[in-house]
Amino acid sequence: MAHRGADMRRGDSTTAVEPYFLRPFRPDDLAAIVALWNRCLTKDPISEDRFWHHIVLDANFDPEGALVAEADGEIAGFLQAIVRRVPMPGVGTEPETGFITVFFVAPHLRRQGLGTALLKKGLDYLRQQGRSTVSCNGYSPIYFFPGVDEDYTAAQAFLRAGGFAAHPGAVAMGMRLEGVRMPEAVRARAEELRAKGYEVRMFERADTLPLIAFSLEHFPEYGDTIRDGLQRGDEEIVVATKDGEIVGYTQWENTYTDPPSGAEGRFGPFGVRADLRSKGIGSVIFYTLIERVVSRGSRYLWFGWAGGRNLSFYERASCRVTRRFTLYTRSLEG
């Protein structure tokens, strides 16, 4: 299973890293991998606890795709290739698609082909799993980043050199909550909606089954998120109803998407039934949640992945883009 480094040397200008191995992740790698992650991914520091819960305890985790590079007895790099083995509501197992979720090489060992060796083995793993395309990133619902941060310029150049095509568009956003209240126009809209049979209010336990059913039908990709969050006691949820039926919701600090203890200020998921959009229901939900969490002491709201049409909603609500990501894809055929 171990691979020696001779095939990694490329021409006279590169220094061979001897000896090196690529091998599957072992639980006793945890401390060294997390330490190297924190040296390499400076915008995304991680604790051992979060690595363990996000990555190792992910239902799709396979150590054969979690590749460790070892050089001179030290951890020199890491790359995770993963496929959905457990179907996710709404997307199934995505049988064509494999994912690269994270990769890094120790700074002093870069530009010597180690990243390329990790990538090649990761792509081979995805081919063995029968996948024909690879996406970096786009893996959900538990993710660290939706794509490659625009500030990780070496990683961007590396993936382009590896034959990946770039698709910009995903952003992370946030807003300070001090002094934020529901704008008067939104409050007036809430009144109009109420007269038409809508209600926007905090979740109650009686909403549990209708909310899970709503989520699975209209936002299947959030179905597990809402149920698992509830299972962990995350009941900071706002629901919108029309004549008693749930038509929208949002959730605060869901611990399922940020195991084990949740990320402070993390907003979402958030959704309004497709046929009832553009009526102001989303704004009423959004500010109802904000007023609630501000009253409980929250000072900041953020989320890690927005794009497309929902961007203009958040921009109008004074959220700022805090990070920009590029999604990379390539074919695994040929």
Ligand X SMILES: CC(C)(COP(=O)(O)OP(=O)(O)OC[C@H]1O[C@@H](n2cnc3c(N)ncnc32)[C@H](O)[C@@H]1OP(=O)(O)O)[C@@H](O)C(=O)NCCC(=O)NCCS
Q: Which stretch binds ligand X (CB under 6 A): 58-66, 96-104, 292-300, 325-333?
A: 96-104
Q: Judged by CB under 6 A, does residue 17 bind ligand X?
A: no
Cα 101 from Cα 61, distance rounded (Å) = 11
Cα 287 from Cα 280, distance rounded (Å) = 11
Q: Judged by CB under 6 A, does residue 268 bind ligand X?
A: no
Cα 51 from Cα 31, distance rounded (Å) = 10
Q: Which helix (H) or strand (E) holds 266?
A: none
Cα 152 from Cα 165, distance rounded (Å) = 16
| Smaller CB separation from ligand X, 40 or 170 | 40
CA dihedral 308, 313, 318, 322 (to 10 degrees): -20
| Smaller CB separation from ligand X, 40 or 211 | 40
- Find the DSSP H helices in the chain: 30-40, 48-51, 114-128, 153-161, 184-195, 208-218, 223-231, 281-295, 310-316
Q: Judged by CB under 6 A, does residue 139 bind ligand X?
A: no
**CB 40 to ligand X: min, Å:** 4
Q: Pick from 68, 155, 230, 317: which binds ligand X (CB under 6 A)?
A: 155
Q: Judged by CB under 6 A, does residue 40 bind ligand X?
A: yes
Q: Which helix (H) or strand (E) holds 63?
A: none
- Nearest CA among 256, 319, 231, 307 for reference residue 283: 319
Q: Judged by CB under 6 A, does residue 114 bind ligand X?
A: yes
Q: Judged by CB under 6 A, does residue 102 bind ligand X?
A: yes
Q: Judged by CB under 6 A, does residue 78 bind ligand X?
A: no
**CB 41 to ligand X: min, Å:** 6
Q: Pick from 41, 75, 293, 319: which binds ligand X (CB under 6 A)?
A: 41
Q: Judged by CB under 6 A, does residue 154 bind ligand X?
A: yes
Q: Which stretch binds ligand X (CB under 6 A): 109-117, 242-250, 292-300, 326-334?
A: 109-117
Q: Judged by CB under 6 A, does residue 134 bind ligand X?
A: no
**CB 95 to ligand X: min, Å:** 24
Q: Judged by CB under 6 A, does residue 148 bind ligand X?
A: yes
**CB 10 to ligand X: min, Å:** 7
Q: Pick from 113, 146, 268, 282: which binds ligand X (CB under 6 A)?
A: 113
Cα 13 from Cα 15, distance rounded (Å) = 7
Sign of torsion over alpha carbons 27, 29, 31, 36: negative
Q: Judged by CB under 6 A, does residue 293 bind ligand X?
A: no
Q: Helix or strand or coil: residue 185?
A: helix
| Smaller CB separation from ligand X, 144 or 219 | 144
Q: Helix or strand or coil: residue 158?
A: helix
Q: Which stretch binds ligand X (CB under 6 A): 18-26, 98-106, 275-283, 297-305?
A: 98-106
Q: Judged by CB under 6 A, does residue 328 bind ligand X?
A: no
Q: Which residues contact 127 (CB under 8 A, 6 or more apart)?
A: 332
**CB 3 to ligand X: min, Å:** 14
Q: Judged by CB under 6 A, does residue 157 bind ligand X?
A: yes
Sign of torsion over alpha carbons 106, 109, 113, 117: negative
Q: Which residues bind ligand X (CB under 6 A)?
A: 40-41, 102-105, 110-116, 148, 152, 154-155, 157-158, 161
